[in-house]
Amino acid sequence: MVTLARSMTDDHPARPCLVLANDARAGGLEKAAAMGIPTAVVDHRPFGKDRAAFEAELTRVLEAHSPDILCLAGFMRVLTEGFVTRWRGRMLNIHPSLLPKYRGLHTHARAIEAGDLEAGCTVHEVTAELDGGPILGQARVPVLPGDTPETLAARVLEQEHRLYPMVLRRFAAGERGRIDL
Ligand code: NHR
């Protein structure tokens, strides 16, 4: 999130207008505030199993800031079809695997367990199909002997910080073609 926010300067076609978290303890909130970006929290827990009610509140807060594009960055709540439809073609996510491999959670452990020689990250459009939307970019890294989920995650994260800003800049300029790093 911080890397994306920092990237949006000078001739970049976008600017950060809100950092929104579902957990008041999220470290990114203070960092965003220090950068002068408005922040907000919508805690999902009071809504229990009512995802639509949680999302109605997310929408209310989002609309107050009129965003053109939403970038998920470590956002861990599955979004319902209603929310996704409203933001169709305007919402991105970065996922720590070479999709379509390893949708969902624990991607690095699964790649190591499978004996994969390569791992990476994917920026995709968010659709109702979890981690299944159109792919906008991927970056690859080697899986090295002795890797743990933590060492592999750190290697992938470096690439996440390269890939996501590049894809966002292109996306904000209207380019939907795929890039591979
Ligand atoms: N929502 C939709 N509709 N489509 C996608 O592609 C989405 C999404 C919401 C989040 C991010 C994704 C990831 O990068 C993302 C993509 C959380 C879960 C999950 O199972 C799955 C995928 C992603 C994020 N969340 C649990 C839930 O019940 C909670 C898990 C937890 O809190 O640890 O929402 O990986």
The band of 134, judged by pLDDT with boundaries at 50, 70 and 90, is very high
Q: How far is the CA of 94 from the centre of ligand 1 (A)?
A: 11
Cα 172 to Cα 181: distance, rounded to the nearest angstrom: 19
Whether pTM > 0.85 for this model: the answer is yes
Q: How far is CA 98 from the centre of its chain?
A: 14
Count CA atoms closer than 13 A to 93's CA, side-chain side: 25
Confidence of residue 168 (pLDDT cuts 50, 70, 90): very high
Residue with the smallest CA separation from ligand 1 atom 7 is 130
For residues 136-150, average pLDDT: 98
- Residues in a beta bridge with 180: 138
Among 78, 102, 129, name the best residue to mutate to test ligand 1's pocket (greatest count of ligand atoms within 8 A of Cβ): 78
34 token code pair:
């220090």
pLDDT attached to residue 31: 98
Residue 51 CA, closest ligand 1 atom number? 34
Please indicate whether residue 95 is annotated as part of the active site.
Answer: yes
In this prediction, residue 8 has a pLDDT band, given cuts at 50, 70 and 90, of very high
pLDDT bucket at 65, cuts 50 / 70 / 90: very high
User: pLDDT tens, 76-109?
Assistant: 999 999 999 999 999 999 999 999 999 999 999 9
Query: What is the C-alpha to C-alpha distance for residues 17 and 112, in angstroms, rounded to an integer?
Result: 38
Do the beta carbons of residue 150 and residue 110 sit within 8 Å? no
128 CB near ligand 1 (under 6 Å): yes
How far apart are alpha carbons 152 and 43 in whole angstroms? 30
Backbone angles phi, psi at 93, to 5 degrees: -140, 150
CB of 72 within 6 A of ligand 1: the answer is yes
| Mean pLDDT for the stretch of residues 129-137 | 95
The residues with which 135 forms a beta bridge, in sequence order, are 124
Domain 2-173 annotated CATH 3.40.50.170: yes
Give the largest Cα separation in the chain, rounded. 49
**Domain coordinates of the chain in residue numbers?**
2-173
* Ligand 1 within 6 A of CB of 51: no
Q: Look up residue 5 and give its two tokens.
A: 């926010």
